[in-house]
Structure 1
Amino acid sequence: MNSAASWMLAQEAKALLGRLARIKPFALYEPMVPAAAISLPAQAAIESYLANGRRELREQVHTFLDWLHGSGGWRATPAEAQRRFTLLRLRFNAVLSQFDIFADVLTQRSEHETGIWLSGLDVVAADALALPDYYQAPPVICYLDRGAGAAIRRARTRLPGGGDNPVAIIRVPRERMVGIGVASSLVHEVGHQAVALLDLVKPLRLVLQGLEKGGHQKSGVWYFWERWISEVLADFWSIARVGVASTLGLIGVVSLPQAFVHRVGLDDPHPIPWLRVKLSCALGKALYPHPQWEELSKLWESFYPLVGLEEEKRWLLTLLDRSIPDFLEVLLNYRPQALGGAALPEIMEIGERQPRHLTKYYQAWRKSPAQMGKAPPSLVFAAVGQAKIEGKLGPEEESQILAKLLTQWALRSTLDSAASCAAALPRTRAVAPATYN
């Protein structure tokens, strides 16, 4: 290879090293109050992952330079050397992309109030995900973005450029802050992470496919439920954790022009919006029997009546609606190996989230607000949602209460982490104060 090509590629490779050296740990330059910071396990997981990526890339650049200046480089053609450098630069861009994924999340933590609320949402997400008897939950961090829907980049899934995501990252719609709707969206996405950890989607799909092929009662509808099962399981998780707050939040998301609510799209993994709310009400009624679910379902039907739809679409929606009881019979009685033979409702804290209990919790907390901040966050959102549907809590007060709670949970989590770190430090002998003459 000629000296000009070798010199130019060496300069470009060294430039990569220079730019790589400017990527610092987030702890060195992200300004935020301590209460807005992500959890210590999340910080450690992210910094460790990114540091390993930078170290591996640095080693690859040095290996390339050694090859370039060695006998291999001298024998290679400029085209071969350029090919190797191009692959190296693509890897560099992948490292930057991974860095930016976390930077976009952490930068919001410096926003006034918002940063602390996000830290509070981290606490809510961790509580909603916790299922210690069945899996070890990964750290969860939240951030805000535009749009009406939430999304998750699950932990242990592939990141751009390779490598497994060390934490779960949940995008929350900014327009949902602050109200019970944020819990509905947040816990739905948490449900996707939980379902993946339990590996429920694939086995349930096989069950539903078997019902379709076997000519089971209402055969023809199972194809749809099999296609939607991932989103249905996430909705189940949300209802199981926050009760009617989940359905109310869902209604807020899918309240769209009628053409969208009744749209039948086989390319969408979500159930048809009209049917999805009906299913949410049916799930709520199955888990938490109460007249409110039937009333809410009828209210939804009055918002989006099927009258006036083309006959084929009305027939399909009616057929799917009537198949909900059969589908729930399968879903709620499914006993996968991952749950040790237990059914899904049996692993959730269904008992204390019954509407009558939530009403009592809320009444007690109104008399002693400090106790609300000490309760599990998902239980609090469930009780607030119950109070809202019963007309005991208006939207203005709801927003004020939840904003205070998010701040309180963020602060408590920060102080608990600090106390745990302090307790883990070795005790040192007290040192007498210095004296000066």
Structure 2
Amino acid sequence: MRRAADTQFLVNEALALFSRLQTVRSFTLNMPMVLAAAVSAPAQTAINGHLAHIAFDLRRRLKDFIRWMRAEESQNLSTAEAQAKFVLLKLRFNNLLDQVDIFADVLSQRGEHGTGTWLAGLDVLAEDALCLPGNYFDPPPLICFVERGHGAAIRRARTRLPGGDDNPVGVIQIPRERMVGSGIASSLIHEVGHQGSELLELTKTIRAELDQQAAKGGPEQIGWLLLNRWLNEILSDFWALGHLGIGATYGLMSVVSLPSYFVFRIGTDGPHPFPWIRVRLSLALGEALYPHPQWAALTRQWGDLYPTTGLTASKQRLIELLVTLLPRFAQLVLNHRSKALRDQRLADLFPAAERQPAQLQALFRQWQQQPELREAAAPSLVFAVIGQAKADGMLTAPQEYQLLTRQLTRWALNRARTYGQSRAPRLGAPSSHSLTS
């Protein structure tokens, strides 16, 4: 028989947890941001709905626990057994707080002057880069935030959050040092590519083709095995190429421009190609997707920046093997077909026709005369045109900055107008102060 004092202690602990649960407020009530900096309506709805579902369930379970603790049927359980039931509720509450903190860290940046609005514009770019013509999948909402450090990352939608719940939105981390230039699109759309590749099961289906190549054995086997191991990252770089053209490769070069020791540091057990070959992979895929002399010129430039002379003989042999495989690998990726692609070529899913260098150059000239046409273009196309113009020497870095900050702000404002109309207040509408009220 459990003592009355033990019962009262656990009931008070549950009531205290219940009280703290009421302080977990909807983000619509406590995020300081101008309307233009807000995340999209679907993203906000998904986040608040997800957290509210967990909070409502936890509230119900706490009430049931308190009711059960006070009932005679629970008295036969020992204090230790009752405590074990309570701590599971406490752990679930901590899971909820961990998830709140994940989204709060992202959303709180929307209150930064300037940065918040640019992030909203990048949300629009990310969603544009994820949505492929043909409705091959149901795209989840995406939200962006900036972080210290050199690289980008994504917490994909529909992956596990603390506590095992499915993430309702894709959360993309981008490096603050890349704000704002055309290179930011390369990092951002690379992360979008992780989400898109997963939705299309590309890693799984292309890996099967690479396994067939490796199974042939011979001296090329190690090359195919390495490409297989690095496939997830390569496909994300390809996703960026499919939307940005040569701007994706220039952005990648900026990211991996490190001391030579790191550029040629060949790790065979990680998911990332070593930087030197990663750029060459981007160049090979870009040349296959957008045939043009600019790729050969950039390949020479990359070789001048990081010559392979002076490397050990074993490194040189491996690099030569991989470089030999690149044209065949590029064709394998571009021509890949699968059930998820409805038997279409992977290359045909992307807007490659309007991203050809000549087309991008023509659009840049046209937009110089008619800038209003740029305002109506898809965000990824705008970044592709600006990236091509910068590669051609037609645009300086300060001009690029001015153009892109203006575009990001405009995209955020355009979305805010639609969002603001949907949020127009209604007389007598009820207010909610917490996720569980």
- TM-score normalised by L of structure 2: 0.94
- The code of the aligned residue for 1:37 comes to A
Matching of residue 268 in structure 1 with residue 258 in structure 2: no
Matches within 5 A, 1:254-333: 254-333=256-335
Matches within 5 A, 1:48-197: 48-133=49-134, 134-197=136-199
| 8 Å Cα contact 1:128-1:378 kept in structure 2 | yes
Between the aligned partners of 2:100 and 2:164, the Cα distance in structure 1 is: 13
- The code of the aligned residue for 2:176 comes to R
- The code of the aligned residue for 2:305 comes to F
Matches within 5 A, 1:376-387: 376-387=378-389
- Going from structure 1 to structure 2, the CA distance change for 1:374 and 1:33 (only over 3 Å counts) comes to same
| 8 Å Cα contact 2:187-2:252 kept in structure 1 | yes
Report the counterpart of residue 391 of structure 2 in structure 1.
389
Between the aligned partners of 1:308 and 1:385, the Cα distance in structure 2 is: 33
Between the aligned partners of 1:179 and 1:141, the Cα distance in structure 2 is: 19
Q: Which moved further from structure 2: 112-121 or 407-416?
A: 407-416
Aligned with 1:221: secondary structure? helix
- The code of the aligned residue for 1:416 comes to T
Between the aligned partners of 2:114 and 2:371, the Cα distance in structure 1 is: 21
- Find the partner of 1:375 among 374, 377, 381: 377
RMSD: 1.5
> Once the two structures are superposed, what CA deviation does each residue of 1:256-303 show, in whole Å capped at 9, x if it has no partner?
111111111123201111000011111111111111111111111111
Between the aligned partners of 1:419 and 1:88, the Cα distance in structure 2 is: 40
Between the aligned partners of 2:60 and 2:216, the Cα distance in structure 1 is: 57
| 8 Å Cα contact 2:289-2:334 kept in structure 1 | no
- The code of the aligned residue for 2:327 comes to P
Report the counterpart of residue 31 of structure 2 in structure 1.
30
Aligned with 2:222: secondary structure? coil
- The code of the aligned residue for 2:128 comes to D
Between the aligned partners of 1:182 and 1:141, the Cα distance in structure 2 is: 15
Kindly state the Cα deviation for residue 322 of structure 1 after the two structures are TM-superposed.
1.3
Between the aligned partners of 2:213 and 2:284, the Cα distance in structure 1 is: 21
Higher relative contact order (CA 8 A, sep 6+): 2
Kindly state the Cα deviation for residue 246 of structure 1 after the two structures are TM-superposed.
0.6
| 8 Å Cα contact 1:135-1:197 kept in structure 2 | yes
Kindly state the Cα deviation for residue 4 of structure 1 after the two structures are TM-superposed.
2.0
- The code of the aligned residue for 1:21 comes to Q
- The code of the aligned residue for 1:357 comes to Q
- Find the partner of 2:354 among 339, 352, 355: 352
Report the counterpart of residue 220 of structure 2 in structure 1.
218
Q: Which moved further from structure 2: 205-214 or 137-146?
A: 205-214
Matching of residue 203 in structure 1 with residue 180 in structure 2: no
Report the counterpart of residue 416 of structure 1 in structure 2.
418
| 8 Å Cα contact 1:131-1:137 kept in structure 2 | no
Kindly state the Cα deviation for residue 353 of structure 1 after the two structures are TM-superposed.
0.7
Residue segments in structure 2 that go unaligned for 5+ positions in a row: 427-437
> Once the two structures are superposed, what CA deviation does each residue of 1:172-229 show, in whole Å capped at 9, x if it has no partner?
1100100011000000011111111111111211221122123378222111011111
> Once the two structures are superposed, what CA deviation does each residue of 1:1-31 show, in whole Å capped at 9, x if it has no partner?
1122211111111111111000110111111
Kindly state the Cα deviation for residue 370 of structure 1 after the two structures are TM-superposed.
2.6
| 8 Å Cα contact 2:197-2:235 kept in structure 1 | yes
Q: Which moved further from structure 2: 213-222 or 339-348?
A: 213-222
Between the aligned partners of 1:351 and 1:216, the Cα distance in structure 2 is: 38
> Once the two structures are superposed, what CA deviation does each residue of 1:136-191 show, in whole Å capped at 9, x if it has no partner?
21111100001111111111111111211111110011001000110000000111
- TM-score normalised by L of structure 1: 0.94
Aligned with 1:339: secondary structure? coil
Report the counterpart of residue 18 of structure 1 in structure 2.
19
Kindly state the Cα deviation for residue 132 of structure 1 after the two structures are TM-superposed.
4.6
Report the counterpart of residue 430 of structure 1 in structure 2.
none
Residue segments in structure 1 that go unaligned for 5+ positions in a row: 427-437
| 8 Å Cα contact 1:49-1:166 kept in structure 2 | yes
Kindly state the Cα deviation for residue 380 of structure 1 after the two structures are TM-superposed.
0.5
| 8 Å Cα contact 1:359-1:383 kept in structure 2 | yes
